[in-house]
Amino acid sequence: MHLVDRVYAKVLNPLCDSTERLLMLGGVQASLCVGKVDRVRTISDVGFQVFSQYDEDGIIEWLVQRLPDIPPHFVEFGVESYVEANTRFLLYHRNWRGLVMDGSHQNISAIKSRATFWKHDLNAIHAFIDKDNINDLIRENGFDGEIGLLSIDIDGNDYWVWKEINACRPWLVIVEYNATLGDQHALVVPYDAKFERIKAHPSGLYHGASIAALKRLGEEIGYTLLGSNRAGDNAFFIRRDLLVLLGEGCIIDKAPFPAIYRESRDASGNLNYVRAIERNRVISDLPILDLESGRAAKLSDFRNCYSAQWRNIMGEST
């Protein structure tokens, strides 16, 4: 065992364990609070963060509490090392059975090396996911049929992969949208099985699909948009035939949020903090597919990508 491994085992590992226990304690208390909420303006109002990147843990918990017969199984891909993930609180708090996948051998090895892997029924698979292999991966690992939650975040082909999934029928779907593309047009980056976000454009802003594109797809395959997290990158859907179980009028406003975070990078890979609509201009010369017309064009060819509501939230003049 190397010195750094000994240090981790004796010092960092116990500290991480103690931190996780405190996070879980706060998460359980928050779960009890959101369970008392019957009606929300937006789903982000019940959001809280334990292991998710933003407020997804609370949103998921609120929805699951309103769906008592939901199958206790999840599939999440694009999880990296599963330190930060949409389903980890579900795994810990509700002891759901899960399948997680990532394109990095190192990330999957890290997941399997932690106590999380033996304490729970978690299957971790190394796979670079595309629209042609996703159904086989789900079936081969025993997650076909009805599952409670599907979470998609692969920084690129999210739309195309979700469109192809038929091996499982999730009650809830969380899928990443690219708010840089706005909310007025059904836009999606053309499919490339080997797509990698930073290689496609160094800013990292060119990827995925607009929220309008994902909403359109959801309607085509039987899912209803419930809203988004407040950060403006994850959209929540429920299978249309299950919508009645949530209760009529329990979500007043299902409009998704724009993104205000500033994660764009320069050619050297350094954060350059480009904000609001300027992000759209950074990738304006890149090809984009309009699902309404079926035409491919430069992003700059699409005018008025942002609604007045989004512009107002981002601090842009209308």
Where residue 53 sits, what CATH number does that domain have?
3.40.50.150
The residue ranking higher by pLDDT, 197 or 2, is 197
For residue 252, tell me if it sits in a domain: yes
For residue 91, tell me if it sits in a domain: yes
Distances (CA, A) of 155 to 51, 97, 159, 248: 19, 25, 10, 33
Tokens 């699951």, located at residue: 64
Pairing of strands 234-239, 168-176: antiparallel
Q: What is the domain count for the chain?
A: 1
For residue 4, tell me if it sits in a domain: no
For residue 194, tell me if it sits in a domain: yes
* Type of residue numbered 170: P
Interatomic CA distance for residues 144 and 170, integer angstroms: 9
Contact 316, 276 (CB under 8 A): yes
- Predicted local confidence at residue 16, as pLDDT: 76
Comparing CA positions, the residue from 48, 51, 52, 21 lying closest to residue 35 is: 48
For residue 258, tell me if it sits in a domain: yes
- Predicted local confidence at residue 284, as pLDDT: 97
pLDDT digits (tens, 9 = 90+) for 202-243: 999 999 999 999 999 999 999 999 999 999 999 999 999 999
- Predicted local confidence at residue 1, as pLDDT: 36
What domain range is 301 assigned to? 39-314
Interatomic CA distance for residues 109 and 197, integer angstroms: 23
For residue 290, tell me if it sits in a domain: yes
Angle between helices 56-65 and 13-34 (to 10 degrees): 50
For residue 6, tell me if it sits in a domain: no
pLDDT at 15 over 70: no
SS3 category, 201: coil
For residue 11, tell me if it sits in a domain: no
Reported as a pLDDT band with limits 50, 70 and 90, residue 3 is very low
Looking at the chain, the number of H-run helices and the number of E-run strands are 13, 10
Q: What is the pTM of this model?
A: 0.94
Tabulate helix, strand, coil % of the chain (nearest 5). Answer: 40, 20, 45
